[in-house]
């Protein structure tokens, strides 16, 4: 049993991490932004070895100073970071919480949590990709790659770039902190591309769906009926595999000091539509029929990936896109979609 601090416990990915931590017998302290979110998590896990603490604003440099003083903490999993496009000012609403959130927790642990031996940060494929690589069918992405965009690029008028910069600079800042400060803990980072899968966190309404599952809501509500939209980035992973990667990344001593590119591989929107069409005949009227165009891979092919480190060193047997799509849709139907 390990005592683990999990930030952002109200999130899509973090809720799965929380479930797995409790299943494996770990004791958890998780942070959320509001009393309402705290109560929902406590209600969902009665009798668990779980404390829920309010950290209202992770963009404050002292945000985590108190919670890291929790006696007995050994591991910190930092997932809290904005992943949505409902912001107007990229600095205060996106870059600050992502970057200051990361550096402030590392500083706080170094100062006040000498028992912490491993920190795992949820980074992203956003910190690996490059525009050039995404346009090159010969490119093979792996942990060796870094997004070349700068902080200044993140302030320009492109929401996707701003998000990618928020993750890139946050992860780079974390590795720099380890190198320069030589703290009492080491670091592992988990870099997922698009994360799909069933929701287990509380949603006030379907409009609050996490960003990466939005396409499933759109699909089953009929928005793909006349044309399947372009896929965007062609890599994906199931949320249960992402949760497993976080837990394995602290349970395995040899994972320290490493980035993990956690992708199940390639997918396109056409495959998602086919999986949902096959398994949910009752949704026929909402779904595009087989002749509807769109959602394919580009004619020239797409870039490749090397996920061998995460597969071997974290022991992940990747969930398939069909299973992930089916379980996602079932979970959305259960909340009224
Ligand atoms: P969610 O939006 O469901 O979760 C984000 C979490 O971060 C929530 O707990 C949210 O709190 C918290 N958060 C966001 N902004 C702030 C802020 N300003 N102050 C305090 N807390 C904040 O998304 P995911 O679960 O998908 O994302 C979790 C992590 O995974 C993020 O770091 C994201 O960048 C990363 N990621 C996600 C991918 C995906 O496809 N889903 C892919 C790659 C990386 P609240 O509930 O109060 O909003």
Tens of pLDDT, residue by residue over 63-109, are 999 999 999 999 999 999 999 999 999 999 999 999 999 999 999 99
Which numbered atom of ligand 1 lies nearest the CA of 33?
A: 47
pLDDT category, 336, cuts 50, 70, 90? confident
Judge whether residue 337 has pLDDT over 90: no
The predicted pLDDT at position 38 comes to 98
Q: Which of 238, 212, 199, 245 is nearest to 337 (CA)?
A: 199
The predicted pLDDT at position 273 comes to 98
Q: How many whole angstroms from 58 Cα to the centroid of ligand 1?
A: 12
Q: How many whole angstroms from 8 Cα to the centroid of ligand 1?
A: 7
Q: Which of 222, 300, 233, 306 is nearest to 269 (CA)?
A: 233
Mean of pLDDT values over 270-280 = 98
Mean of pLDDT values over 129-133 = 98
Order of all β-strands in the sheet with 194-196: 194-196, 235-238, 265-266
Please work out whether the CB of residue 18 comes within 6 Å of at least one atom of ligand 1. no
Could you give the percent of the chain with pLDDT greater than 90? Answer: 98
Please work out whether the CB of residue 192 comes within 6 Å of at least one atom of ligand 1. yes
Please work out whether the CB of residue 31 comes within 6 Å of at least one atom of ligand 1. no
Q: What are phi and psi of 251, to 5 degrees?
A: -75, -25
Mean pLDDT taken over the chain: 97
Q: How many whole angstroms from 37 Cα to the centroid of ligand 1?
A: 14
Q: What is the rounded CA–CA span in Å between residue 143 and residue 189?
A: 10
Tokens 């920190």: give the residue. Answer: 119
Structure tokens at 235: 């890599």
């Amino acid at each position: 049993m390990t005592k683990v601090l999990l930030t952002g416990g109200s999130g899509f990915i973090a809720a799965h991490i929380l479930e797995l931590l409790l299943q494996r017998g770990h004791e958890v302290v998780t942070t959320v932004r509001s009393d309402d979110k705290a109560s929902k998590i406590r209600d969902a896990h009665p009798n668990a070895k779980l404390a829920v603490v309010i950290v209202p604003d992770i963009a404050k440099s002292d945000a985590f100073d108190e919670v890291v003083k929790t006696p007995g903490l050994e591991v910190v999993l930092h997932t809290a970071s904005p992943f949505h496009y409902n912001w107007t000012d990229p600095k205060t609403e996106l870059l600050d919480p992502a970057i200051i959130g990361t550096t402030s927790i590392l500083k706080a642990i170094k100062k006040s949590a000498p028992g912490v031996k491993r920190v795992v940060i949820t980074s992203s494929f956003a910190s690996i990709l490059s525009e050039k690589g995404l346009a090159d069918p010969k490119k093979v992405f792996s942990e060796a790659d870094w997004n070349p965009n700068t902080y200044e690029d993140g302030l320009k008028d492109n929401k996707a770039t701003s998000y990618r910069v928020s993750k890139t600079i946050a992860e780079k800042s974390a590795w720099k902190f380890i190198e320069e400060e030589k703290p009492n803990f080491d670091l592992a980072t988990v870099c997922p591309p698009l994360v799909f899968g069933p929701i287990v966190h509380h949603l006030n309404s379907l409009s609050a769906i996490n960003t990466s599952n939005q396409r499933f809501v759109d699909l089953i509500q009929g928005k793909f009926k006349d044309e399947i939209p372009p896929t965007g980035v062609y890599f994906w992973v199931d949320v249960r595999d992402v949760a497993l990667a976080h837990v394995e990344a602290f349970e395995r001593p040899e994972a320290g000091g490493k980035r993990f590119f956690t992708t199940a591989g390639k997918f396109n929107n056409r495959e998602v539509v086919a999986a949902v069409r096959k398994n949910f005949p009752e949704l026929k009227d909402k779904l595009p029929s087989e002749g509807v165009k769109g959602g394919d891979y580009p004619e020239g092919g797409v870039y490749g990936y090397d996920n061998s480190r995460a597969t071997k060193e974290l022991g992940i047997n990747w969930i398939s896109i069909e299973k992930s799509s089916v379980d996602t849709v079932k979970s959305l139907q259960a909340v009224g979609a």
